[in-house]
Amino acid sequence: MSAVADAVEDTRRSVLRALQEDGRASFSRLASELGVTRRLVTQIVNQAVERNELRLTVSISPDLLGLQRFAYLQVAVEGAVEPVRRALVQLPETSFVADVAGAFPIDAEIRVGADPHLSDVLTQVQAIPGVRSLRTHLYESIEVNRYSPLRTGHTDFSVDAADRAVIAHLQRDGRASYRELGDAAGLSAGGARLRFERLKRAGAVKVVAIPVRDHQRETPSVGVGIRSSAATGDMLSFLRALEPEFLATAIGTFNYIATFSRESAQELIGVTDSLHEAPSITAVESWANLRVLKEQYGEGDRLAVTGAR
């Protein structure tokens, strides 16, 4: 690859990574920071959307959806995998489902409300024809999620019909103009801006560019389960420095569960090498997410029920 092509690819990666952090980031600001034209930034984003490489949408805070508990499931299958795969994707409580390499061909994250919701969902998953067994890991706390607001435990934030209309439109188009959001919610453009800024400031929503990873040929992301003898704060600092896209403290087989994504296999190997070489890490188990089937953090219809005050 030529130097010019390398520079273009670096710019493309930088733009898309910035949108993963803030899906409504100003194209003009990104162009200024990267030393390129706004036209180039616009072209990069439009091409990525047209090629179905990313989805610009809004994620909703677990607090606003009434979600209190989270678990990661590794699913052992007996017989045909496809019916199990389809049932997990269709389950409302799954926020993430992937085909993975290893003893468990499918993994999933579930997000549920107060007890006994978790046990009910686990029973439902176990009853799916073809599911032989589950290895269940409870998240004690989610520390990093690039594509979703984190749970804070604050449930006093309220939304009304106009807020819900703004959020529903953002789910379809994360970069919709304020005029379009206002039309959807029966507000002026200025009113829609105020509604969105209030939701964003409270951590109730996050507009993100989620990679569409069910068809791409790039290196898959890697999930990692970790056991460590280090103090929790020290280990979280170490893991954060490796720039995970997801990181949680866990109860069960692992103390920590993380997801890492990079642009090449070599970069991913560098991450796993760092984990294996850390003196305070006593065990590392990794698995490749071969195909991400579902990655969705919040549904508008659930918000309509649980978000009203």
Amino acid occupying residue 288: A
Instruction: Specify the pLDDT at position 301.
Output: 54
Domain residue limits, the chain: 3-51, 63-148+213-295
Contact between 225 and 254 (Cβ < 8 Å)? yes
Instruction: Specify the pLDDT at position 308.
Output: 39
> In sequence order, which residues have a C-beta less than 8 Å from that of residue 47 and are 6 or more positions away?
53
Instruction: Specify the pLDDT at position 307.
Output: 44
> In sequence order, which residues have a C-beta less than 8 Å from that of residue 166 and are 6 or more positions away?
181, 184, 185, 187, 192, 195, 196, 199
Integer Cα distance of 286 and 274 in angstroms:
13
For domain 63-148+213-295, which CATH number applies: 3.30.70.920, 3.40.30.10, 3.40.50.300, 3.40.50.150? 3.30.70.920
Q: What are phi and psi of 14, to 5 degrees?
A: -65, -40
Say which DSSP state 127 is in: T
Integer Cα distance of 232 and 85 in angstroms:
34
What six digits make up the tokens of 203? 């951590």
Give the pTM.
0.87
Helix/strand/coil for 79: coil
Contact between 94 and 251 (Cβ < 8 Å)? no
Q: CA-CA distances (angstroms) from residue 197 to 57, 191, 225?
A: 16, 10, 36
Per-residue confidence in pLDDT tens, the chain, 309 aa = 577 677 888 899 899 989 988 999 999 999 999 999 999 999 999 999 998 888 999 999 999 898 999 999 999 999 999 999 999 999 999 999 999 998 899 999 999 999 999 999 999 999 999 999 999 999 999 999 999 999 888 777 889 999 999 999 999 999 999 999 999 999 999 999 999 999 999 889 999 999 887 655 555 689 999 999 999 999 999 999 999 999 999 998 999 999 999 888 899 999 999 999 999 999 999 999 899 999 998 865 555 444 433
Q: Fold identical between 3-51 and 63-148+213-295?
A: no
| CATH class belonging to 3-51 | mainly alpha
Q: What are phi and psi of 220, to 5 degrees?
A: -70, 160
